[in-house]
Structure 1
Amino acid sequence: MIKIKVGLRPIVNRINLPTVLITTILPGDSIERLFIATQVGEIFYIGNGHIRTFLDIRPRILKLGVSGGGYDERGLLGLAFHPQFYFNGLFYLHYSVAGTQGPGALPNSETARQGLPEFFKPNPCDPKTLNLKWINRETQYDHIDTVEEWILQSNGQPQKRRTLLNLRRPFFNHNGVNSLNFSPETGKLVLTTGDGGSGYDPFNLSQDDLEIAGKIIEIDVGKNTYINNPPIVTRFNELPAPIQETLTVIAKGVRNIPGISFQRFYNQYIKYVGNVGQDLVESIFSFAQYKPIPVTQLIQASFMNSELNKEGFINFGWRGWEGAFPTPIIRGCTENPTLDEKTIAYYNEAVTLSGSRLQPLTSYFHQDTRPDKFAGTALTGVQAYLGNRISGLTGSVVFTDFARKESGPQVRGALAYTRVRPDGKQNDFSVIQTDYDFGNQSAYYASLGTNLNQTRLYLGVYGSMNVTDLNQGRVFEIVP
């Protein structure tokens, strides 16, 4: 793959951590505006060279960074504008709700006593750790996420209209980010949500058909619109029937996911998604044909104890597979620190899913000493690029990693690209070089966005990995 170098053109400085970068045209306007959502709950847009506040829901957001030294994966996670936003003013939010902090799903376990339950590691020699169940869900959870419909009123003030979903989450992490988008194929709202957190998906929520965690879900926002204030749930069968009827599931086996991107290719769309890795590898997947399953069918099949025909249904393989590899447990070797011991923990699942899971389009590793690659930390964005201003990048899929492992005292994120091969097999990737000098400040690459026709790319950067370190964010346009 050819080597590409780009510039970074600053758009905004000194904002909070940017989680969503998208564009839309405001009702009555004629110019496409860049909208920026921050993790703490602000939504800005760029108008005539100035940053303007569109909406501030900070009082609605759960208090972030209280545990974990300021690091957090909750907050304002998703923003999407209805395809008819210019005419109907509708837009959608996904965020972690203020006042819903719970004790977590593994409060009394040995793991919790040793440290935060978010860093749970199964023990291949102890079957109990491989088959944990999430019990007492109404009391043992971390927080509640909500998906809401809002409207921009004729007076220019946004107002909440209704709640689509209230989701009880077991841990603070793996809630998805940049988690809302509208499918140009179906016109439905797509919600991408992670496996609920901790490490190694301790309750295997991502493979359970009835669990909402670890799925890509379509919501028909034009159906049964009279519904409001739905119950707080963790499973599809806990939802009232009128809400079940609005939902279909595109995919399962998701660990954590920084959104979905659609690329038009003749009369169909290629879908790109990334699955954040555990200890080994970060993976980008692509698919065009798929067979979504209505939630009502999933529930009926479970009730009847019958097997659904899942041909064409997308499964990314987690927790049995991490990208193209059976999920390993990695332990440091005390006698020789340069070596690692790897143990396959979910051997049975890895075998069961080996023929039915989707293979990644490309992967990159947490350890990689090759001169033209990088050692990554966590995938933070995946976007198709259809512009022609950046030579050599047209028709590719661009992705970002939060922080290179080898970047030195000042952390630097990574920007890279790959392409879909005509034969559908896995492809290599290439690092995109940038010419911007961040000086002595760290630059974590937190988010990646695009405009409506995918001819421009935007990069969200933060000077710290902690959401409690305020106003260290910048947004750039990626330029030739």
Structure 2
Amino acid sequence: MKTRLLLGALLCYGAAFAQTIELEEFATGFTDLTEITHAGTDRFYVAEQGGTIRILNADGTVGDTPFLDITDILSTGGERGLLGLAFHPDYEDNGYLYVNYTNLEGSTVVARYTRSAENDITADPASAAIVLTVAQPAANHNGGCLRFGPDGYLYIAMGDGGGAGDPDGNGQNKNVLLGKLLRIDVNSGAQYGIPEGNPFVGIDGSDEIWAYGLRNPWKFSFNRLNGDLWIADVGQGVIEEINKATSTAAGLNYGWRCYEGTQVYNNTGCSTAEMFTQPFAEYTHEATDGCSITGGYVYTGTTYPNLAGKYIFTDYCNNKIGWAAADGTLSYSEAFTGNEFTAFGEDIDGELYVGGKTSGTIYKITDSSLSTKGFNNKLFSMAPNPAGSEVFINLNNATANTAVSIYDLGGKLLLQQPLTTTANRIDTSALQAGMYLLEVNNVNGKNTQKLVIN
């Protein structure tokens, strides 16, 4: 099944780029999926809220036997259940995976399991080692997302403990783990160690805390190219927010419950001396028909250059695929009805997928207006890529009025040069290391490719 949604212009530089987003059905048959992730290969692992993890192969087939089944040790329904899954960076060697679930008492549990010694398609259910347990005062706002950061530490998203408006003030209380993003070292200590650089070590505040002032972060991720941290935080009733920080920014306060997005929510007891970090972007329920943001990833794949550098997200209620440009501008697709998207997946090449709770289907996110694969009559080739101080453009057909333009991922024009021969040298020495979009345009058309500068 393929569904096509036409999106408006996203980048404006000369002629605007527009995407035709297609969700191509990749696999189906899942129940209440909560996570789509991989362990360093082209195989996906899909976590289902009821307590099972299933293997999704690169060809879209689903394994008959659950990789792990912990249904008998968790409570589920509503916002409880198996909520997070992450594989150790050295999974190939040690076989460790980590899950986040609510146990029979309703507490959040982070536990480590080990791959079976007999095969690589099951984990040993008897290998459970509890890493962390956090009591939950209510059934909702459990967070649950797990990610290993570029520093090799395990990050854990914790909601504020539930109850409308954070009645216990957990978001701003640095001595509790609720309403926080935690960072722990699972390679040291009896259960875990505290990484050097955690902001509240030796001072007031829990040692595990990396960031605070969160309400219910439903998915966070790290940009695999530069390490930037992106957090989607579900709002109370008006505003959904997207937070962004460098991977080394410790101790940030994202404001809840003093703020919902950029608006004051309840400033009782909020310190005027506190430094709050404003959202990178936000949207209102009224303007978008949204109610609960589902965070995704920055697109770092190579197939769809127009999506490069965009943070892709969705909303549980409006079923629209949205994204944030480098300046924080948000754009949206039309709604994909009957899905209720709950999780994104990123494969080993940076291509993105999204899963729907109601449909039980995982789709691949594509842009049919432009891809680097399958161009007919491609205008040019370039080398080297990655490049240093220069790159060479070789035109398939040299014609008059051919030009090359280089843009940053926010759409800012950085370089423009006419191409007068079949082979052309472009001086890129003024460009900093990073990713760019290189566009060649003439009467035969326009092609864009991703350019990486070392």
Flag the structure with higher strand content. Answer: 2
Q: Distance in 2 between matches of 1:475 and 1:326?
A: 37
Is residue 258 from structure 1 mapped to residue 221 from structure 2 by the alignment?
no
Contact 2:186 2:192 in 1 (8 A): no
2:238 aligned to which of 280, 289, 293:
280
1:321 aligned to which of 250, 259, 278:
259
Deviation string 1:108-134 (CA, Å, 9 cap, x unpaired) is: xxxxxxxxxxxxxxxxxxxxxxxxxxx
Q: Partner residue of 2:112?
A: 149
For residue 378 of structure 1, what is the amino acid of its counterpart? Answer: S
Q: Partner residue of 2:390?
A: none
Deviation string 1:216-253 (CA, Å, 9 cap, x unpaired) is: 1111001114679xxxxxxxx9xxx9xx99x5321000
Q: Partner residue of 1:59?
A: 72
Q: Partner residue of 2:418?
A: none
Is residue 46 from structure 1 mapped to residue 6 from structure 2 by the alignment?
no
Contact 2:184 2:192 in 1 (8 A): no
Is residue 7 from structure 1 mapped to residue 17 from structure 2 by the alignment?
no
Aligned residue runs from structure 1 range 28-427, under 5 A: 31-47=41-57, 48-52=59-63, 53-62=66-75, 64-65=76-77, 72-98=78-104, 100=105, 143-156=106-119, 157-159=122-124, 160-177=127-144, 179-184=145-150, 186-225=151-190, 248-264=208-224, 268-288=226-246, 290-292=248-250, 313-327=251-265, 345-346=266-267, 349=270, 351-353=272-274, 356-368=275-287, 374-404=288-318, 413-421=319-327, 427=328
Q: Distance in 2 between matches of 1:200 and 1:252?
A: 16
Q: Distance in 1 between matches of 2:132 and 2:290?
A: 33
Structure 2 length-normalised TM: 0.69
Change (3 A) 1:418 1:291: closer
Q: Partner residue of 2:436?
A: none
Deviation string 1:256-287 (CA, Å, 9 cap, x unpaired) is: 0022211145xx52111111101111010111
For residue 155 of structure 1, what is the amino acid of its counterpart? Answer: E
Is residue 18 from structure 1 mapped to residue 29 from structure 2 by the alignment?
no
Question: Following TM superposition, where does structure 1 have runs of at least 4 consecutive aligned residues deviating by more than 3 angstroms?
Answer: 225-228, 289-292, 350-353
Deviation at 1:95, TM superposition (A): 0.4
For residue 314 of structure 1, what is the amino acid of its counterpart? Answer: L
Q: Distance in 2 between matches of 1:391 and 1:220?
A: 36
Q: Distance in 1 between matches of 2:307 and 2:354?
A: 16
Greater relative contact order (CA < 8 Å, ≥ 6 in sequence): 1
Contact 1:258 1:382 in 2 (8 A): no
Is residue 477 from structure 1 mapped to residue 364 from structure 2 by the alignment?
yes
Q: Distance in 2 between matches of 1:226 and 1:180?
A: 16
Deviation string 1:395-445 (CA, Å, 9 cap, x unpaired) is: 1111110012xxxxxxxx111111333xxxxx22111357x7x6xxx2211
SS at match of 2:62: strand
Change (3 A) 1:394 1:365: same
Deviation string 1:11-58 (CA, Å, 9 cap, x unpaired) is: 222321110011224xxxxx5201110111111112354211211111
Contact 2:101 2:108 in 1 (8 A): yes
Q: Partner residue of 1:432?
A: 333
For residue 279 of structure 2, what is the amino acid of its counterpart? Answer: P
Q: Distance in 1 between matches of 2:296 and 2:242?
A: 8
SS at match of 1:181: strand
Contact 1:361 1:420 in 2 (8 A): no
User: Which structure 2 segments of 5+ residues have no match?
Assistant: 1-9, 12-17, 194-199, 368-454
Q: Distance in 2 between matches of 1:395 and 1:269?
A: 13
Contact 1:6 1:433 in 2 (8 A): no
Deviation at 1:192, TM superposition (A): 0.7
Query: Which moves more between the two structures, 283-292 or 314-323?
Result: 283-292
Contact 1:16 1:38 in 2 (8 A): yes
Q: Partner residue of 2:440?
A: none
Q: Distance in 1 between matches of 2:46 and 2:352?
A: 13
| Identity over aligned pairs, percent | 27
Q: Distance in 2 between matches of 1:4 and 1:347?
A: 45
For residue 346 of structure 1, what is the amino acid of its counterpart? Answer: N
Deviation at 1:76, TM superposition (A): 0.2
For residue 45 of structure 1, what is the amino acid of its counterpart? Answer: I
Contact 2:224 2:300 in 1 (8 A): no
Structure 1 length-normalised TM: 0.66
Change (3 A) 1:78 1:361: same
Q: Distance in 2 between matches of 1:379 and 1:49?
A: 27
Q: Distance in 2 between matches of 1:459 and 1:352?
A: 41
Contact 1:379 1:402 in 2 (8 A): yes
For residue 366 of structure 1, what is the amino acid of its counterpart? Answer: H
Change (3 A) 1:49 1:14: closer
SS at match of 2:228: strand
For residue 415 of structure 1, what is the amino acid of its counterpart? Answer: I
Bigger radius of gyration among the two: 2
For residue 183 of structure 2, what is the amino acid of its counterpart? Answer: E
Deviation at 1:182, TM superposition (A): 0.2
Q: Distance in 2 between matches of 1:199 and 1:452?
A: 38
Deviation string 1:278-301 (CA, Å, 9 cap, x unpaired) is: 111101011116454xxxxxxxxx
Contact 2:132 2:191 in 1 (8 A): no
Contact 1:91 1:150 in 2 (8 A): yes
Q: Distance in 1 between matches of 2:316 and 2:271?
A: 28
Q: Partner residue of 2:423?
A: none
User: Which structure 1 segments of 5+ residues have no match?
Assistant: 26-30, 66-71, 101-142, 229-236, 293-312, 328-344, 369-373, 405-412, 422-426, 464-471
